[in-house]
């Protein structure tokens, strides 16, 4: 999968501000905001066909808060919550889905 980097903001040699990558077909691959060289803020990713692939936020360079990932057909593939870049097993409604299987679980305080 080839991608072409475009639309990069920088400050003092570090990425800072909006950052957009495009697939070689011109479709947006992802959009994210950088602060002091690290992802910080909303992230939106797209499949090569233009469908949403993932949506979440970064804080201090790490995934943080609710994230949702999607299959190319728009179906939800994963929902979970991250804390400082790690999947938070204390979160609610963790959901995985593949073409043939679905798994959902609710965990509170690290327990089912």
- Within a domain: 9: yes
Identify the band that residue 112 occupies on the pLDDT scale cut at 50, 70 and 90: very low
Q: How many domains does the chain have?
A: 1
- Within a domain: 112: no
- Within a domain: 57: yes
Cβ-based neighbours of 76, under 8 Å, separated by 6 or more = 68, 69, 70, 95, 97
Residue 75 has pLDDT above 90, yes or no: no
- Within a domain: 21: yes
What pLDDT digit, counting tens, does each position of 32-53 carry?
999 999 999 999 999 999 999 9
CB environment 89-111: b (16+ within 10 A), e (fewer)? eebeebbebeeeeeeeeeeeeee
* Nearest C-alpha neighbor of 9 from the set 35, 36, 18: 18
What tokens appear for 97 in the block?
């889905």
CB 58 within 8 A of CB 67: no
Host domain of residue 7? 3-105
What pLDDT digit, counting tens, does each position of 1-11 carry?
555 666 677 78
Residue 109 has pLDDT above 50, yes or no: no
- Within a domain: 14: yes
| Confidence (pLDDT) at 84 | 92
| Confidence (pLDDT) at 13 | 84
Q: Report the C-alpha gap between 53 and 38 in whole angstroms.
A: 21
- Within a domain: 111: no
- Within a domain: 40: yes
Q: What is the CATH number of the domain that holds 85?
A: 2.20.110
| Confidence (pLDDT) at 95 | 55
What pLDDT digit, counting tens, does each position of 96-107 carry?
555 555 555 544
- Within a domain: 49: yes
Three-state DSSP at 33 gives: strand
């Amino acid at each position: 999968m080839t991608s072409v980097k475009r639309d990069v903001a920088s400050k003092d040699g570090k990425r800072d501000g909006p950052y957009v990558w495009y697939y070689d077909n011109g479709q947006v691959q992802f959009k994210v905001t950088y602060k002091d060289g690290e992802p910080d803020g909303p992230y939106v990713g797209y499949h090569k066909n233009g469908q949403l692939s993932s949506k979440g936020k970064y804080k201090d360079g790490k995934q943080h808060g609710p994230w949702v990932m999607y299959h190319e057909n728009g179906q939800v593939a994963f929902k979970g919550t991250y804390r400082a870049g790690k999947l938070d097993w204390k979160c609610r409604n963790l959901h995985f889905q593949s073409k043939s299987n679905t798994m959902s679980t609710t965990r509170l305080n690290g327990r089912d």
